[in-house]
Amino acid sequence: MVLEQVGRLLARLGWIDARRGDAIAELAWPRIVTGLARMSKATADVAMVGLTVGAAGIAGIGYGVPYWTLAYMLGGGIAGGTISLVSQRFGAGEHPGITTAVVQSAALGLLTTLPLVALFTGMTEPLIRLIGSGEAAVAHGVTYLSIASWAMPFAALNLVGSRALVGANEAWIPMVIRAGGAIANVILSGVLIFVFDMGVAGAALGTVLGGASVTGVLAWGFVRGRLPYVGALPIQWDARAALGDRATAKRLVQVGTPLALRKVAQGGGRFPMMAIVAFFGPNVVAAYVVALRMRGLMNTPGWGFGLASSSLVGQALGRNDDSEAEAYGHDTLRFTVAVYALGALAIFVGARPVSYLFVQDPELIPTTVALLRATCVSVMFHGLLNGALGPLRAGGDTTWPFYGQLAGLFLFALPIAYAGTVTPLGLWGVYLALVFETAIPAFVTYYRYHSGAWLAINRAYRAAQGSA
């Protein structure tokens, strides 16, 4: 496997420990495959809509995506609390407590996403017009959001379920389920777009159906404890679980809230950013959407490494082995940055042929190439961020990444992007904003990780649990 070979090369160079490198790769690669499948699905939607509808359709999806992906922002934050609790309880052998954490996380995910579904379906057009421009693009955005909003609860539940399994040292099963759902999604969207000529509506409906199918399979597996052709799950519904346990709920909120707020800040920044990019016209918006989709693809290694780090570090903390937890944190960080560098370099060099996969208008190609190369620089900082965030998430030290996200967006990225609309900086404001949006959170998060405060915070939590 490629990831294992990269890890062994890094071990021979003396950058990471070989044993830990194998453990990291084994847990990370299924989540990376899942992420690639999911982001490929999102990228395929844009490509298929671009081929059938054109730039206005791509821009419409771009206006709708920041709203409905708030489910991933909120669900991802909640799931960050899930993996922290599950990994430590799995390491300590507290299996009834795992069920408690999973069920409470799922309930919290529904409570946060269902009101958003009502809001987005009830006020679709005003919300799209808030950030969109161009009547055709706005109309496509309204269509997309009104349908795709219904995928939000499924997205949150899927994140909680998959993170719980990774926290229990099982990454292959969620990969099979979620990657299979992404493949089904692409097929459904393709049929709806090309066969039934549904355009943007077909892409949105495929997203809803794909998400619902994954939720159904995960729920079936948790209740039965196994899935046909897949095998036994390390987590099963346990009637002994204290589902009303206030201590678990409190810890889940303590760890998950800063993570959710960080992700909401990250996702929320897309609204003003998209409005700023819209000043340059729908064609530039389309190129920007393509660049973001490709950045999402390049960012998938971080999902695997970040979750592997959280799981392995959390399990070591559950065993009260702080030195092993710290060692896993260091090695995963180095492994992550190395893999990101390889991916970013490949896309930077191949930016022009990649652009032609999405747009055929010769006037759009230079802008798309420039935006793609800016995202290659910015995604390197995503690698640093994801590598440093894993141990913080495992230890329950999740406030500093939130502060870093706020600073990166509102003190740097958005002002710089806006400056491009009112000064000769022009599109360079957007290019630089893409870099600062990830660089500032990365430096802040790495500083906090390097300080070692996350270990002290987790020691205090374990001491309090032991005396309770």
The maximal CA–CA distance of the chain, rounded, in angstroms, is 68
In angstroms, rounded to a whole number, what is the distance separating the alpha carbons of residues 86 and 94?
Answer: 9
What is the residue extent of each domain of the chain? Answer: 2-463
**What's the pLDDT score for residue 140?**
92
**SS3 call for 231:** strand
Confirm if 377 and 317 have CB atoms less than 8 A apart.
no
The secondary structure of residue 151, as a DSSP letter, is: G
Confirm if 229 and 32 have CB atoms less than 8 A apart.
no
**SS3 call for 398:** coil
In angstroms, rounded to a whole number, what is the distance separating the alpha carbons of residues 444 and 401?
Answer: 7
In angstroms, rounded to a whole number, what is the distance separating the alpha carbons of residues 178 and 182?
Answer: 6
Confirm if 398 and 255 have CB atoms less than 8 A apart.
yes
Q: What Å distances lie between residue 422 and 31, 162, 241, 252, 432, CA to CA?
A: 42, 45, 58, 44, 15
**What's the pLDDT score for residue 126?**
93
**SS3 call for 232:** strand
Confirm if 287 and 10 have CB atoms less than 8 A apart.
no
In angstroms, rounded to a whole number, what is the distance separating the alpha carbons of residues 81 and 76?
Answer: 9
Rg of the chain over all Cα atoms, to the nearest angstrom: 21
**What's the pLDDT score for residue 65?**
81
| Residue 24: count of CB within 10 angstroms of its CB | 27
| Residue 421: count of CB within 10 angstroms of its CB | 16
**What's the pLDDT score for residue 331?**
95
Picking from 437, 407, 40, the residue whose alpha carbon sits closest to that of residue 274 is 437
β-bridge mates for residue 231, sequence order? 227
User: Residue 69 contacts by C-beta under 8 Å, 6 or more apart in sequence?
Assistant: 267
**What's the pLDDT score for residue 240?**
64
In angstroms, rounded to a whole number, what is the distance separating the alpha carbons of residues 256 and 401?
Answer: 12
Helices (H), 244-364: 246-268, 270-278, 282-298, 300-318, 322-349, 351-355
**What's the pLDDT score for residue 1?**
64
Picking from 30, 3, 64, 73, the residue whose alpha carbon sits closest to that of residue 402 is 73
In tens digits, the chain (468 residues) has pLDDT values of 678 888 889 999 999 999 999 999 988 888 787 777 767 777 778 778 877 888 788 888 888 888 877 777 777 778 777 877 888 888 777 777 788 888 888 888 898 889 989 999 999 999 999 877 788 889 999 999 999 999 989 988 998 998 889 888 887 888 888 888 888 888 998 899 988 889 899 999 998 999 999 999 999 998 888 888 888 888 887 766 666 678 778 888 887 777 777 777 766 677 788 889 988 887 888 889 888 888 888 988 887 898 788 889 988 988 889 999 999 999 999 999 999 999 999 999 999 998 887 767 777 788 989 999 999 999 999 999 999 998 998 888 888 988 998 899 899 999 999 999 999 999 999 999 999 999 999 999 999 999 999 998 888 877 776 644
The secondary structure of residue 360, as a DSSP letter, is: -
